[in-house]
Copies of this chain bind each other. A is one copy, B any other.
Amino acid sequence: MKAVVFKGPFNVAVENVPDPTLEQPNDAILRITTSNICGSDLHPYEGRAPLDQGMVLGHENMGVVEDVGPGVDRISVGDRVSVPFNIACGTCRNCTAGWTNACLRANPTGRPTAGYGYPMMGPYWGGQAEYLRVPWADFNLLKLPAGREHENAFTMLSDIFPTGYHGAELARVTPGDTVAVFGAGPVGLMAAHSAMIRGASQVFIVDKEPDRLELAERYGVTAVNFAEVDPTEVITDATDGTGVDCGVEAVGYQAHDPTGQEHPELVMDKLVEVVQSTGRIGVVGVYLPQDPGAATEGAQEGRIGFDYGSVFDKNIALGHGQCPVKRYNRQLRDLIIRGRAQPELIVSHELSLNEAPQAYDQFDKRIDGWTKVLLCGRSANSPGLRSSNSPGSSLGGQSIRWSWCPGP
């Protein structure tokens, strides 16, 4: 099959690789219909996280079941499914407790987390390919309505919609709360959308990219451009001087100032500033225990010297980490089906697998308008790069015709 293969930093290629096969009785094989490029795919792409050459990339996957092993009794061939980026055994202590992001058994290295096509998540090939092997298929796969409806919305269920929602959950957003989300990338936008769904009275989102902030406003969110205003001042003023109830960190360890200098403590410091006493912060932007490329010795060892004294002083609760996708994806699917969630608004590009190398290049350069890129697993004859944000099409998912990514 054709697949997007990691060749080394700043180098991915579309190559022919062996088709996946049923290796275990509980495996399923999917034909991929959509696989997205994720911001975290850029970590290995930039050489900032170690990945083996030859690994097939892609952890945001959906498709149709082609084959199942003899132990699979819930999922059937032909089912349309979403694949959580976490690989979970479904029976260990953490999986049983709902922490499918921290499966104790799926990663052969013993590290308590596993996933597809990503550094340190195990040997599992990703889904930027025509086919994908899914372990423990009955447990991991979420069934979707048959057909192609909602494809661009459902494809967000594998990672960023639940991940954004997890940020809101870790921040315990409840009806009436005010919320500040830092970072208006796909995860930040999904966190803001989720906070609105959960009944926040007002959500602020802080970024400096006008295209992202414009998207945020489509979700009813108050955009704060930190290149133009001081977020602390704006948010404090808008909340009668008290600050917000909840914060979501959707930036991570690569936060940097306008000169490009990294300040991994920058976003946490700002959040601690704008969140009021007794508030909560959900951290879904990634921080790493080891980051050899970091600017300071401390940061290389995961030490982030933010204003922890104020965290204590303000009684702030902090929640952290990767999203257990399965905890939320069914509910979010239902919100999509019933017209109550629109994660597809952030889609900027639908491309063929062949276009993946260019897409990685453009996405990595944060070129304006490249918010979220979808790849078609089974397309072979796409006419070329196409931005769904191009003249003549309104920004957002509804206007994108799935047929641009023809199936086999």
Are A101 and B315 touching (Cβ within 8 A)?
yes
Provided the pairs A93-B330, A197-B199 are in contact, do residues A302 and B307 lie with their beta carbons within 8 angstroms?
yes
Set of chain B residues within 8 Å of A338, measured between Cβ atoms: 201-202
Q: Give the segment of A205-213, A284-292, A353-361 that binds chain B.
A: A284-292
**Cross-chain contact of A307 among B283, B301, B320 (Cβ < 8 A):** B301
Are A289 and B309 touching (Cβ within 8 A)?
yes
Are B199 and A91 touching (Cβ within 8 A)?
no
Q: Complex Cα distance A337/B174, Å?
A: 16
Set of chain B residues within 8 Å of A16, measured between Cβ atoms: none
Set of chain B residues within 8 Å of A50, measured between Cβ atoms: none
Set of chain B residues within 8 Å of A311, measured between Cβ atoms: 287, 318, 320
Q: Which of A198, A201, A253 has the most CB of B within 10 A?
A: A201
Q: Give the segment of A70-78, A125-133, A372-380, A397-405 that binds chain B.
A: A70-78
Set of chain B residues within 8 Å of A176, measured between Cβ atoms: 328, 330-332, 334-335
**Cross-chain contact of A288 among B112, B313, B315 (Cβ < 8 A):** B313
The 0/1 profile, CB within 8 Å of B marked 1, for residues 294-334 of chain A is 00001001111111111111111111111000101011101
Q: Complex Cα distance A90/B178, Å?
A: 23
CB-CB nearest in chain B for A238: B338
Q: Complex Cα distance A40/B70, Å?
A: 36
Are A320 and B309 touching (Cβ within 8 A)?
no
**In angstroms, how far is the closest chain B Cβ from the Cβ of A241?**
10
Are A303 and B309 touching (Cβ within 8 A)?
yes
CB-CB nearest in chain B for A101: B315
Q: Complex Cα distance A170/B316, Å?
A: 11
Set of chain B residues within 8 Å of A317, measured between Cβ atoms: 170, 317-320
Set of chain B residues within 8 Å of A154, measured between Cβ atoms: none
Set of chain B residues within 8 Å of A165, measured between Cβ atoms: 175
Q: Complex Cα distance A24/B70, Å?
A: 9
CB-CB nearest in chain B for A165: B175
Are B286 and A331 touching (Cβ within 8 A)?
no
Q: Which of A96, A175, A301, A306 has the most CB of B within 10 A?
A: A175
Oligomer copy total: 4
The 0/1 profile, CB within 8 Å of B marked 1, for residues 327-352 of chain A is 01011101101101000000000000
Set of chain B residues within 8 Å of A302, measured between Cβ atoms: 307-310, 313
Are A277 and B335 touching (Cβ within 8 A)?
no
Chain A 165-186 residues near chain B, CB threshold 8 A: 165, 170, 174-178
Q: Complex Cα distance A307/B264, Å?
A: 13
Are B277 and A290 touching (Cβ within 8 A)?
no
Set of chain B residues within 8 Å of A198, measured between Cβ atoms: 175, 198-199
Provided the pairs A90-B91, A304-B309 are in contact, do residues A340 and B99 lie with their beta carbons within 8 angstroms?
no
Q: Which of A96, A253, A328 has the most CB of B within 10 A?
A: A96
Set of chain B residues within 8 Å of A304, measured between Cβ atoms: 305, 308-309
**Cross-chain contact of A321 among B139, B316, B330 (Cβ < 8 A):** B316
Are A331 and B177 touching (Cβ within 8 A)?
yes
Are B335 and A309 touching (Cβ within 8 A)?
no
For the A-B complex with A70-B71, A306-B308 known, give 19 more contacts whose Cβ atoms are closer than 8 Å: A74-B91, A74-B105, A90-B90, A90-B91, A90-B138, A91-B138, A96-B330, A97-B278, A113-B277, A176-B328, A176-B330, A197-B199, A201-B340, A287-B312, A289-B309, A289-B313, A303-B305, A311-B320, A314-B320
Name 21 A/B residue pairs within 8 A (Cβ), A-sorted: A25-B70, A25-B71, A70-B71, A74-B91, A74-B92, A98-B98, A101-B315, A175-B332, A201-B331, A287-B309, A287-B312, A288-B312, A289-B309, A289-B310, A289-B313, A290-B309, A291-B309, A301-B307, A302-B313, A303-B305, A312-B321
